[in-house]
Amino acid sequence: VSFATIEFLVFFATVLAVYRLVPAEAWRVRKAWLLLASLAFYASWHVLYTFLLLYSICFDFVAARWLPKVSQRLRPWLLLFSLLGNLGLLVFFKYGGFVYDNVTATGLIPASQATGDFLHGLLLPLGISFYTFHSISYIVDVYRGQRQPCLNFVDYALYVSFFPQLMSGPILRAWEFLPQLEMPQRFQSERFRAGFARVGIGLAKKVLFADVLAAYADPVFADPTGYSPLTAMVALYAYAFQIYFDFSGYCDMALGLAGMLDLRLVENFKWPYLASSITDYWRRWHMSLSRWLRDYVYIPLGGSREGRGSTYVNLMATMLVGGLWHGANWNFVIWGGLHGVFLAVERALGVRDAPTEPGARIARIALTFHLVVFAFLFFRIQSWAIGQSYLATLAGPWHGLSASDWKAIFLIVIAFLLHVADQGGRLRNWFANSPPLFQGAAVAAAVIMMLNLRNLHQPFVYFQF
Amino acid sequence: MTQTQPRGDSPRYPSKASDAGEVRSARAAAFASLITFALVLAAYLVLGFVAPPRESRSLSRPSVSPETLVHGAPIVYLGSSTARENTRRSGDMRDLAQLLATDLGLDESQVALIAVPGFQPLVYRAVVESFATLAQRPRLAIVPIEMRVFSVPWGGHPGLQHREIIAALQGTADSRVDRALAALHLTPRRELTDWFLFAPTRVASMGGPPVPIANRPSMAFGDYQRMLLADPPASPERLELQFRAHYLHPLEEDHPLLNALIDIERLGAELGVTIVYELGPLNYQDLVRYTGEDATQMNRNVGIVTEALRRNGARYIIDSLRLIPADEFSDQMWSCEHLTPTGRVRRARAVADFLRQHSLL
């Protein structure tokens, strides 16, 4: 199911060829084909869990259809029922073991080896955090009267399961995607070419940066002992760029693939390592998640409407939910908590906006970046013991850099320069408009490198969430 | 959380073509991009046939596949460094599989050795799992059990090499797609990939939890490692500590590595591969000499292992635990299972005798 594999490229070439062979006027057939392809894509990972995805789709499709029809008194209950249906799945599969461990640790219920083994042994359905959030946003929007329920099952099913965004987003709002399905989307050469270029960019990000940096950082995070503090530090920066190039590379490919199929997804990144504050960072990093959290957690909690203290509490609660969304582990809670603290402190100090003076602005960008990197340490560690070991390694006796460290630093610097150079989409747009011969050859070169570096290939980081 | 809306931008596309000429031109550009893409890939494919890539499978992940490991041999001997060629680098250099083949009167290709450095049942489980993908599965797998594997300093932390081997066995190494790509000469080109492969290097030995020493105070991991790596000769006190650390902790019945060994029996039954366990020889004479009556804990541990295996269907267990006298262990300064050439021949012969007695050939 990874985009950066030869199997997926063959799959996509087939989907695209059939899609293009169907006349644009037969829009329903095209949509049905895309839905079929999306379900096949998911089933290629796990057939049984495809039924779980279908269940989720059917459940919310029906619930949303019912919402406007029931009495005002019953509507909140129907919403609650739907939310429990969605969140119940998520909690059961993703947080069951975590909740069980923590509840049994308090002694409220006796621990059972069999129950613990069962809950920990559950295979997490890929993309469940994403498609559940799709569904929740849709049902809440219908409940709030912000949009009408979708009447076409294929459209709704495609909204939830469209394969470019099924596994790791971006998290779409129904009003961003469903209207595109209501009328035939015509082929636009520019959009197709831009999509093709975007796929190449995403693939290069994944293959040339994310996977290579992961091969460097992974051993250090697996067991930090014995490494020099400098190596541990380089590995931390390597991870920061690994996760950015991995996730943004995935999103580039998702947007590009959708574009080649005449559809649009939303942007998920906006050069986050150039943010001048943590507040700004969350306007640039995983934007579709942060706006989801804002609209469905932060604002319903009261947002900033009820005084300073309440605002800080809401910020912290929202970021803790955001942390926990990433995984059933305390390290994600700590990571979310750290960001909550950063946001609250920024708000308290009134330093959320970027300074105008260039020197101060650069200093703020540097500070923000290093806070983000530091927080990533807690995001990445597998256990608290490893975290302690990592911190001890960072404080250990000094050693010089090895040739491997220098190579990693070189790649990180290149990654950062590309990040800066692309600000405002300059590189991306330049590549989308570059001469066709150059563009085609460059994308082919990315595929060739994918073939050559496939032994380093790892699943996209956000697939695990 | 942010106050202002972090809304996603719409994708930015080049300006729309406004007349038919521009539309044609844009279409031609899109078409040219795709054609170039296809031509470059085709050229790369042709290059593969004209100048096949050098062998470069030894990338960051080892090239491990059941086919390359087993080569269609009917008998597979899983093992650690103790099963490889002798560590003294002199005398009989044959490995245990070769010795066993000789004892059985078989061609050496009939017994395949799958030995990784460091004994690790998790690797062997992954290897046996991978037999499922073989067109011609082995008939018999001999699985040694080195009792030290259940000790804290040994078994709890499979090294990175083991994780990589397991990942390779469970992953895409030599999958159908790999084979198809290899047939098209689309294997990785070392000249392209070498630059991208770099791993961090350690400047000190790995850390770990304190090492429990049976009936003695625990040692810090670093102290224990230094003791192991100290120059010979080893003092009796040091040897005693090693024996205690490696063999004399009460074994828990649900030890994950014991479960891995049990899984191997189950997998063997599912795949039609007969599993023969071999309680690997250890320096029992020295164990008793250095630890006295405490050595009986070792027998209790062995009982737990054999009982658990038999309870889960194991029928064949070779007991070579006390087979080798102390002077046939090659590393006298460690509580180690490497054998001299004489000891290796003796060990292989015991396996061969067992297989013959039970008509397993």
CA distance A354 to chain B (A): 14
Q: How many CB atoms lie within 10 A of CB B280?
A: 25
pLDDT at A117: 79
CB contact under 8 A, B206 and A225: yes
C-alpha distance from A100 to closest chain B C-alpha (Å): 21
Structure tokens at B160: 């990175």
| Candidate from B2, B9, B203 with C-beta closest to A282 | B2
Which residue is closest to B2 within chain A, CA to CA? A279
For residue B4, give the chain A residue with the closest CA. Answer: A283
Q: What are the pLDDT digits (tens) for B115-145?
A: 776 677 888 888 888 888 787 889 999 999 9
Q: B200, A227: Cβ pair inside 8 Å?
A: yes
pLDDT at A312 over 50: yes
Q: What number is the ipTM of this complex? A: 0.85
Q: Which amino acid makes up residue B172?
A: T
Q: Which residue has the higher pLDDT, B196 or A38?
A: A38
- Residue in A219, A284, A290 nearest the CB of B200: A219
What b/e string do you get for A224-255 counting C-beta neighbours within 10 Å, with b at 16 or more? bbbbbbbbbbbbbbbbbbbbbbbbbbbbbbbb
What is the chain A residue with the closest CA to B198?
A404
For residue A432, give how far its alpha carbon lies from the nearest alpha carbon of chain B (Å).
Answer: 8
The mean pLDDT of chain B is: 79
Least confident of A139-143, A413-417, B9-13, B298-302: B9-13
Contact A428 B40 (CB under 8 A): no
Could you tell me which residue, A41 or A219, shows the higher pLDDT?
A41
Run of H or E including A7? helix A6-21
Residue B308: pLDDT band with limits 50, 70, 90? very high
**Residue percentage of chain A with pLDDT more than 90:** 71
Helix axes B221-229, B236-247, angle to 10 degrees: 120
Mean pLDDT of chain A: 92
Cβ of B42: how many Cβ atoms within 10 Å?
Answer: 11
CB–CB of A443 and B37 under 8 A? yes
Taking a contact as any Cβ pair under 8 Å apart, which residues of chain B between 208 and 237 contact chain A? 208
Tally of CB atoms within 10 A around A397: 8
With CB atoms and an 8 Å threshold, state whether B198 touches A408.
yes
In order, the DSSP letters of A11-39 are HHHHHHHHHHHS-TT-HHHHHHHHHHHHH
**What's the pLDDT score for residue A107?**
81
Question: Peptide bond preceding A224: is omega within 30 degrees of 0, i.e. cis?
Answer: no
Rg for chain A, CA atoms, rounded: 23
> pLDDT tens across A153-198, in order?
999 999 999 999 999 989 999 989 999 999 999 899 999 999 999 9
Is there a contact between A448 and B37 if contact means CB atoms under 8 Å apart?
no
**Rounded-to-integer distance, Cα A254 and Cα A41, Å:** 14
Q: Is the pLDDT of residue A223 over 90?
A: no
For the stretch A363-409, pLDDT in tens is 999 999 999 999 999 999 988 888 888 999 898 887 788 888 999 99
pLDDT at B168 (0 to 100)? 58
Greatest mean pLDDT among A374-383, A453-462, B60-69, B146-155 lies in A374-383
What's the number of CA atoms in the CB half-sphere (13 Å) around residue B53?
23
Contacts with A, B 140-169, CB within 8 Å: 157, 160, 163
B73 touches B110 (CB < 8 A) = yes
The gap between the terminal CA atoms of chain A, to the nearest Å, is 15
- Residue B313 makes CB contacts below 8 A (sequence gap 6+) with B265, B266, B269
Q: Does B18 touch chain A (CB under 8 A)?
A: no
- Split at pLDDT 50, 70, 90, the class of B172 is very low
In the block, tokens 């330049």 appear at A430
- pLDDT for A112 equals 81
Q: Average the pLDDT over A24-36 and give the result.
A: 95
More confident residue, B283 or B60: B283
Q: What is the pLDDT of residue B86?
A: 64
List, by residue number, the catalytic residues of A. Answer: 326
Find the mean pLDDT for residues A331-340.
95
Q: Where are the alpha helices (DSSP H) in chain B?
A: 20-50, 66-70, 96-104, 121-130, 152-155, 160-170, 176-183, 190-193, 221-229, 236-247, 256-271, 284-291, 296-311, 341-357
Closest-CA residue of B relative to A7 is B177
Higher pLDDT, B90 or B277: B277
Query: In which element (H, E) is residue B114 found?
Result: strand B111-115
Look at residue A101 and tell me whether its pLDDT is greater than 80.
Answer: yes
H or E element, residue B212: strand B211-213
Task: Pick A41 or B170 by higher pLDDT.
Answer: A41
> Among A133-137, B106-110, B234-238, B347-351, which stretch is predicted with the lowest mean pLDDT?
B234-238
Instruction: Determine the pLDDT at residue B12.
Output: 45
Task: Give the residue-averaged pLDDT of B284-313.
Answer: 94
Q: Do B17 and A192 touch (CB under 8 A)?
A: no
Q: Is the pLDDT of residue A6 over 50?
A: yes
Handedness of CA B137, B140, B144, B145 (dihedral sign): positive
Tell me the residue length of chain A: 465
Model confidence at B160, pLDDT cuts 50, 70, 90, reads very low
Residues of chain A with Cβ-Cβ distance to B14 below 8 Å are 190, 193-194, 429, 432-433
Residues of B in contact with A337 (CB under 8 A): none
pLDDT computed for residue B153 by the predictor: 65
Contact between chains at A429 and B203 (C-beta distance less than 8 A): no
pLDDT at position A333 over 60? yes
Per-residue DSSP letters for B267-293?
HHHHHT-EEEEEE----HHHHHHHHGG
Interfacial B residues in 88-147 facing A (CB < 8 Å): none
Q: Give residues 245 to 274 of B whose Cβ lies within 8 Å of A.
A: none
For A398, name the nearest residue in chain B, comparing CA atoms only.
Answer: B203
Predicted confidence band of residue B57 (pLDDT cuts 50, 70, 90): very low
Mutate to test the interface with B, among A455, A456, A457, A458 (most CBs of B within 10 A): A455
CB nearest to B60's CB, from A5, A266, A456: A456
Q: How far apart are CA B88 and CA B155, in angstroms?
A: 25
Q: Is B58 an interface residue toward A (CB < 8 Å)?
A: no
- Band (pLDDT 50/70/90 cuts) for residue B255 is confident
Cβ–Cβ of A429/B14 closer than 8 Å? yes
Which is more confidently placed, A443 or A227?
Answer: A443
Contacts A343 to B, Cβ<8 Å: 1
Q: Is B12 on the interface with A (CB under 8 A)?
A: yes
The pTM is what? 0.75
A211 neighbors A458 (Cβ within 8 angstroms): yes
Structure confidence at residue B56 as a pLDDT band (50, 70, 90): very low
Check B208 against A287: CB less than 8 A apart. no
The type of residue at A200 is G
What's the average model confidence in pLDDT over A25-48?
Answer: 95
- Judged by CB atoms closer than 8 Å, whether chains meet at B16 and A190 is answered as yes
Q: How far is B303 from chain A (nearest CA, A)?
A: 25
The per-residue pLDDT for B47 is 87
Taking each helix axis from N to C terminus, what angle separates A128-143 and A153-161, rounded to the nearest 10 degrees? 130
More confident of the two residues A429 and B183 = A429
Residue of A nearest to B63 (CA): A455
Q: Which residues on chain B are in Cβ contact (under 8 Å) with A208?
A: 196
Residue of A nearest to B1 (CA): A315
- Band the pLDDT of B10: cuts 50, 70, 90: very low
What residues of chain A lie within 8 A of the CB of B172, using their CB? 454, 457
